Amino acid sequence: MESKMSDFQRITIENIEYFIVDSIQNLRAEDSFIHRNNKLSVFGGNGEARKYVGSYIDDSGRKLSTFFEYENWGITETKNGRRVEYPIIQKNCFFNKKNLQRYLVDAKVEYQKQEQKYHNDISRFYDDYVLSIDNLPTENIFFSIHDVSDHLNNSKGYRRGYIRSEDDIWSIWRKIVLPKISYLSILKLLPVKGIEDSEPLFYFRIFLDYQFRSIVHPQLLSREKLEIPALEADQSVEQEIIKQKSRKGQQKYRKDVINYMPQCPFTLIADEILLRASHIKPYMVCITEKNEKEALDYLNGLALTPTYDWLFDQGYITFLDDGRLICGTRLSRYTWEKLNINPNAKNKMRIYPEGREKYLEYHRKFVFQDNIDDFL
């Protein structure tokens, strides 16, 4: 069986290597699911504890059933029109402490300088949430999920698949997650060793939308960071200053990056029209740190064609200091195949890594969406 599994991407969790045999990605954290502490001001209520995972009929339903190895969506015993049980879908589900800690690090700026409008000042909850994660007793926190979907015979004909857990970790992740800008990812795992006798594990992870992660949060472009005098800080002046900072030195930076790295290492395209000078440590981070030298350093840039520029910029891929490619787990096996990338290969790419080490380290730590330790 292992030979048939060899093409699946691998991930290491707590020193155990697993195949990623399937995944459900980008399940948005709807405000209806969010704990009342973090709800947006335009919505009311306390939030419901069940998480929508998709329709349980047609193609969507078949995918759900295959993924969770569960067929009885919405079929539960009722009495006087009310359910008397919620069947268990899977017992081998877990969150990982490091992922939850990383999520709170990424979300810190939004907690402290809210871009969205919330019912509460959510900054007052942040330290308690960090403490609740830090105090988790184990690295992997296991829980069971139940089928709390729309009943198959409901009068409105809804066929929405929902899951919920009675375990404490379910309440914890509902409390820390932020609405609209957060996503749930679920990986279905089988261990590389002893796979024949193993039941699948379901690795639940939460991520913050890249556009709201701390490295590009809109509130980082505050008057304080850009040192704009308060009396002059009307919108037009602020926008013009940002534009001027963006433009300064960009043409020379792009020319220097391409001169040093004259082709995309993925496509081998060398036509400058199709090459982008992709920052390793994001440009806006350098600017907010008042480090224009790094912002315009050609060693802080890779020449990539647009698709691979996007993958790198959004943290779906990263590189080790020796140029080895590391692929994250947010894309499907099918997508990697279409990109002509083997996520297990860790091929050394021609990115001329010498001198880029500090920038690559930043990218792995703060831009790459996965925990780099899971791939080493």
Q: Determine the pLDDT at residue 277.
A: 95
Residue 225 pLDDT grade (very low, low, confident, very high; cuts 50, 70, 90)? very low
Q: Tell me the sheet residues that pair with 325.
A: 319
Q: Determine the pLDDT at residue 137.
A: 94
- Choose between 72 and 156: higher pLDDT: 72
| Over residues 211-219, mean pLDDT | 53
Q: Tell me the sheet residues that pair with 20.
A: 189
- Secondary structure of 234-290 in HEC code, one letter for each residue: CHHHHHHHHHHHHHCCHHHHHHHHHHHCCCCCCCCCCCHHHCEEEECCCHHHHHHCC
Pseudo-torsion of CA 17, 20, 26, 27, nearest 10°? -90
Q: Are 258 and 272 in contact (CB under 8 A)?
A: yes
Q: Determine the pLDDT at residue 287.
A: 86
Measured in residues, the chain has a length of: 376
Q: Determine the pLDDT at residue 250.
A: 82
- In sequence order, what are the residues at sequence separation of 6 or more whose Cβ sits closer than 8 angstroms to the Cβ of residue 65? 56, 71, 73
Which of 157, 168, 200, 204 lies closest to 184 in space, CA to CA? 204
Q: Determine the pLDDT at residue 334.
A: 83
**What one-letter code names the amino acid at 212?**
F
Neighbour count for residue 3 (Cβ, 10 Å): 6
Residue with tokens 């947010």: 330
Residue 24 pLDDT grade (very low, low, confident, very high; cuts 50, 70, 90)? very high
Q: Where are the domains of the chain?
A: 2-212, 248-375
Query: Considering the entire predicted model, what is its pTM?
Result: 0.82
Pull the structure tokens for residue 213.
């992660």
Cα(92)–Cα(189) distance, rounded to whole angstroms?
10
Q: What are phi and psi of 352, to 5 degrees?
A: 50, 65
Which of 335, 361, 338, 266 lies closest to 26 in space, CA to CA? 335
Name the CA radius of gyration of the chain, rounded. Answer: 23
Residue 360 pLDDT grade (very low, low, confident, very high; cuts 50, 70, 90)? very high
Q: Would the pLDDT of 216 be above 80?
A: no
Q: Determine the pLDDT at residue 311.
A: 95
Top-confidence range, 75-89, 114-128, 142-156, 220-234: 114-128
Residue 375 pLDDT grade (very low, low, confident, very high; cuts 50, 70, 90)? confident
Q: What is the mean pLDDT of the chain?
A: 86
Q: Determine the pLDDT at residue 231.
A: 43
Q: Determine the pLDDT at residue 112.
A: 92
Residue with tokens 């209806």: 32
Residue 227 pLDDT grade (very low, low, confident, very high; cuts 50, 70, 90)? very low
Q: Would the pLDDT of 167 be above 90?
A: yes
**What one-letter code names the amino acid at 361?**
E
Q: Would the pLDDT of 232 be above 90?
A: no
Q: Determine the pLDDT at residue 121.
A: 95
Q: 40-56 pLDDT, tens per residue? A: 988 777 778 999 999 99
- Displacement of CA 346 from its chain's centroid (Å): 21
| Over residues 101-125, mean pLDDT | 92
Cα(309)–Cα(302) distance, rounded to whole angstroms?
8
Percent of the chain with pLDDT over 70: 87
| Over residues 30-45, mean pLDDT | 86
- Choose between 214 and 98: higher pLDDT: 98
Q: Determine the pLDDT at residue 76.
A: 77
- Choose between 260 and 332: higher pLDDT: 260
Q: Are 349 and 325 in contact (CB under 8 A)?
A: yes
